[in-house]
Amino acid sequence: MNGSNSADPGSSGVRRRSDATRTAILAAARERFAADGYERATIRAIARDARIDPSMVMRYYGNKEGLFAAAVSVELELPEPGSLPRHDIGRALVTRFLDLWEENEVLTALLRVGATNQAGAERMQGVFREQVMPVALLACPDPEQAPARAALAATQLLGLALTRYVLRFPPTVALTREEIVAWLAPTVQRYLTAPSP
C-alpha cells in the first residue's frame, strides 16, 4: 500500500528530496515527546512544529508508533571499563550520563514515554539490557552479580534524571554538575565494584 521507504535520512546512501522534511519531523517529534509524553504529543502538533501536513507524518513513518520508534534511538556510548583505572568507573559513568541528558532531549522523551507507555518501557528495558549491562559485566568482580549491580546503578542514575530533568525538583535542579559527580560517583562505584554487603 505504501511502496516508498523506511526511515532514517542520512544513514543509508540514498538522498531524497524529502530528507529535510523527514528530519524536521523527527526533530519536532523528539521535542514534543520529551515535553508532553506519548499521548499528549499529537501528530497534528508535531506536524505543525515541522510546518507540514499531518498526513506526511503518516506517509513517512506509517503510524504514531512508527514515528516514536524512528524519533527515539539511543546510543549511550558508555565508557569501556577496560580503558580506565578500576576505581574511576563510577565517576566516568556519572559524567557520561550527565552529558547524555543534556546534549539532547532524546532521553527525556524516552523516560517520559516509558513512564506511561508499555512500548516505551520495553524500549528502555532494551537499552538497559544491551548497553548498560555489558558495562557492569566488565566492571564488577563476579559476572553472576552483574544484573543486580547494573540494576542498582540504574536506580541511582535514572533517579537523578527523573528528579532533575522530568519532575524538576528545584533542589535537584540547583545542584551543580560538580556536586552531582562528587556525591553520585562513589555510589555508582560502590554498586558496581564493592563486595556485596
Q: List interacting residues with DNA (CB under 7 A).
A: 1, 3-4, 16-18, 20-21, 41-45, 51-59, 63-65
Q: Which does 82 bind (CB under 5 to 8 A by kind): DNA, a second copy, none?
A: none
For 72, residues 6+ apart whose C-beta sits below 8 A from its C-beta are 30, 33, 106, 109, 110, 113, 123
Q: Which does 58 bind (CB under 5 to 8 A by kind): a second copy, DNA, none?
A: DNA
The rounded distance, in Å, linking the Cα atoms of 95 and 177 is 8
Q: Which does 14 bind (CB under 5 to 8 A by kind): a second copy, DNA, none?
A: none
Smallest CA-to-CA distance from 154 within 119, 180, 176, 125 is with: 125
User: What is the smallest separation between the CB atom of 17 and DNA, expressed in angstroms?
Assistant: 4
Give yes or no for residue 128 binding a second copy (CB under 8 A): yes
x/- site string to a second copy, residues 140 to 159, per CB under 8 A? -------xx-xxx-xxxxxx
- Within 83-112, the residues that bind a second copy by CB under 8 A are 111-112
For 166, residues 6+ apart whose C-beta sits below 8 A from its C-beta are 108, 111, 112, 115
Q: With contact defined as beta carbons under 8 Å apart, do 98 and 156 qualify?
A: no
